[in-house]
Amino acid sequence: MGRNLSLLAHLPRLEADGVTHRRDCECVRCDAGYRPTEQQRTVARQRFEDRRIREAAARALARRQERARVRAAAISIAVGADVAAANERVRALRVAQERADGDGRLALLQSLRRSGMSLAAALVEVERRFSESVGRAQRGSNWRPTDSQDLNRPEPS
Co-location of 78 and 130 in the same domain? no
Co-location of 85 and 20 in the same domain? yes
Residue 47 lies in a domain: yes
Co-location of 77 and 117 in the same domain? no
Co-location of 86 and 114 in the same domain? no
Residue 52 lies in a domain: yes
Co-location of 63 and 122 in the same domain? no
- d(CA 19, CA 148) in angstroms, rounded, equals 95
Co-location of 21 and 94 in the same domain? yes
Residue 129 lies in a domain: yes
Residues 41, 15 contacting (CB under 8 angstroms) = yes
Residue 151 lies in a domain: no
Give the contacts of 20 (CB within 8 A, at least 6 positions apart): 14, 36, 40, 41, 44, 45
Co-location of 91 and 110 in the same domain? no
Q: How confident is the model at residue 137 (pLDDT cuts 50, 70, 90)?
A: very low
Residue 91 lies in a domain: yes
Q: Given a cut of 60, is residue 138 above it in pLDDT?
A: no
| pLDDT tens, residue by residue, 28-69 | 778 777 888 889 888 888 999 999 999 999 999 999 999 999
Co-location of 80 and 62 in the same domain? yes
20 CB burial (10 A radius; 0-12, 13-18, 19+): buried
pTM (predicted TM-score): 0.46
Q: Which amino acid is residue 66, in one-letter code?
A: E
Residue 146 lies in a domain: no
Domain count, the chain: 2
Residue 112 lies in a domain: yes
- d(CA 60, CA 95) in angstroms, rounded, equals 52
Co-location of 81 and 47 in the same domain? yes
For residue 114, the enclosing domain spans 103-134
Closest C-alpha among 31, 148, 55, 109 to residue 21: 31
- d(CA 117, CA 98) in angstroms, rounded, equals 25
- d(CA 125, CA 62) in angstroms, rounded, equals 74
Q: Given a cut of 60, is residue 140 above it in pLDDT?
A: no
Residue 141 lies in a domain: no
| pLDDT tens, residue by residue, 68-119 | 999 999 999 999 999 999 999 999 999 999 988 888 888 889 899 999 999 9
Co-location of 30 and 65 in the same domain? yes
